[in-house]
Amino acid sequence: METAAPVKWLSKFQENREITVSVPGSKSITNRALLLAALSQGTCHLKGVLFSDDSRGFLDCLIKLGFNIEINEKRKEVIIEGTGGRIPDRKASIDVRSAGTAARFLTVMLAMAGGDYELTASPQMCKRPMEPLLSLLEACGVTFEFHGEEGHFPFALHSDGIHQKEVRIDTKISSQFASALLMCAAMKEDGLTVILEGDRSEGAYIKMTLAMMRQFGIEVEREGRKCIVSGNASFGVPVYEIEPDVSGACYFYAMAPLLKTCVIVNGVHENSIQGDIAFLSVLSKMGCKMEDTEKGICVDGRLLSAYPGQTLSMKDFSDQTMTMAAIAPFAASETRICDIEHIRYQESDRMKAIITELNRMGVSCEEIPEEKGILIRPVSEDGIRETEVETYEDHRMAMAFSLIGLKTGKIGIRNPGCCRKTFENYFELIEELQENNHAGSAEQ
């Protein structure tokens, strides 16, 4: 008999609060830094590392590939001995779990390095798209033996390296394909030119990848859609500091207009290389006051009597689509979130999940195919029905839709443990904030 998933009910949050919180390190930066450190020459000391299902899975894969790694979770640090682009064990088995970054980055790394490998993944990751990347690698001479559905995990990979000087990759479904090729291009002695195709070639995550490559000392030039990566196994840095996770910070910043609070997230600043920092500009358009303080960005919504709905493209910060969808029902006018078709192929079909769960709780939400997005109409707080929100094993659905619970006290989150993918103590932090009504602030 199947055990029912646990449900986390959210009680109404006190308004007009001042909140200061700390969030974990960035998942996107952590997993890029793990890869770049492993490929670099010499020892790299990573600080501010996120420890979650995804990053632990990535670390486990590197260890199984023979990398010498020292891990200190308490201090949020990892020390990696880089191997200059070589894989210590060229015949190994790894499990990428549910981590899309590990799945894409490590597949390309192993193809570039050459060897014989077995790659497995969680049932969720086995459903996510890999075919465009695998087809490109096959065209470069890599062979795959699929143990399930063709073009998906699990599979065996056999390679004697990639010898092409130029490759093309479509960014439409996942920019992680491009990021994987860009970072691993530095493994080739003669370098690699990566031509980015599709409508996300200028995406925030690709910009983050290029910025981090330069921080690690990799020579890369961009000419329009063409990225020219110099082969340079001698790159590396002795210490690399990982930024706090802006994606995680945005759930708290969204409380500013929704709950009329004032929020500071420690260590988050305007110069962040993370694309989700753009979400704060949306909150500013809603009427929140914003200031980059010494502690971190402060977003203040205490003086708002109401906030307007928005019409916006979220193509470059689509991880915040669910956050926007959670605060949109309480806006004074309708919200149109456009250019988000690619979120169908992430941890869940996020467009379908948003539409389904909002309608279940009494919010009118529908797809607008011509704008590759969704339309959300406003509803009164009384119009929200008591609902157990299905999270579809998607951490962002759980965290974003918890905001509706904090606003109304009518929402339960099924399987809240799915947050362990990126922010394993999210709900503990929410509870701490609720328990400190009189303290005025709480820190993780």
Query: Domain 27-236, what fold?
Result: UDP-n-acetylglucosamine1-carboxyvinyl-transferase; Chain (3.65.10)
Q: Is 225 annotated as a binding residue?
A: no
Q: Is 68 exposed, middle or buried (0-12, 13-18, 19+ CB in 10 A)?
A: middle
The 10 Å CB-count burial string (b at 16+, else e) for 328-362 is bbbbeebbbbbbbbbbebbbbbbbebbbebbeebb
Give the per-residue pLDDT at 233: 62
Q: Is 364 flagged in the annotation as binding?
A: no
Q: Do 235 and 37 touch, CB atoms closer than 8 A?
A: no
174 labelled ligand-binding: yes
315 marked among binding-site residues = no
Q: Please check if 336 is assigned to a binding site.
A: no
In angstroms, the Cα distances linking 349 to 98, 302, 380, 388, 394 are 15, 34, 27, 18, 9
Helices (H), 92-245: 100-113, 123-127, 131-139, 175-184, 204-215
Task: Output the pLDDT for position 201.
Answer: 73
> Is 42 marked as a binding-site residue?
no
Beta strand segments in 185-233, E: 192-197, 220-223, 226-229
Q: Which residues are catalytic?
A: 319
Does residue 100 have a known ligand-binding role? yes
According to CATH, the topology of domain 7-23+244-435 is UDP-n-acetylglucosamine1-carboxyvinyl-transferase; Chain (3.65.10)
What local confidence, expressed as pLDDT, does residue 232 receive?
A: 67
Query: pTM of the prediction?
Result: 0.89
Contact call for residues 124 and 91 (beta carbons, < 8 A) = no
- pLDDT score for 440: 46
Residues of the chain with CATH 3.65.10.10: 7-23+244-435, 27-236
pLDDT beneath 50, residues of the chain: 1-2, 437-444
28 is known to lie in a ligand binding site: yes
Place of tokens 């056999």: 158
CA–CA dist 142, 435 (Å, integer)? 55
319 is in an annotated binding site: yes
- Residue 176: DSSP 8-state: H
DSSP 8-state code for residue 53: H
pLDDT of residue 438: 39
Residue 437 vs residues 296, 299, 302, 427, 432: alpha-carbon distances, Å: 22, 19, 16, 16, 9
Annotation-wise, does 346 bind a ligand?
A: yes
Spatial separation of the C-alpha atoms in residues 320 and 247, rounded to whole Å = 7
Which pLDDT score is estimated for 388? 97
The pLDDT value given to residue 3: 55
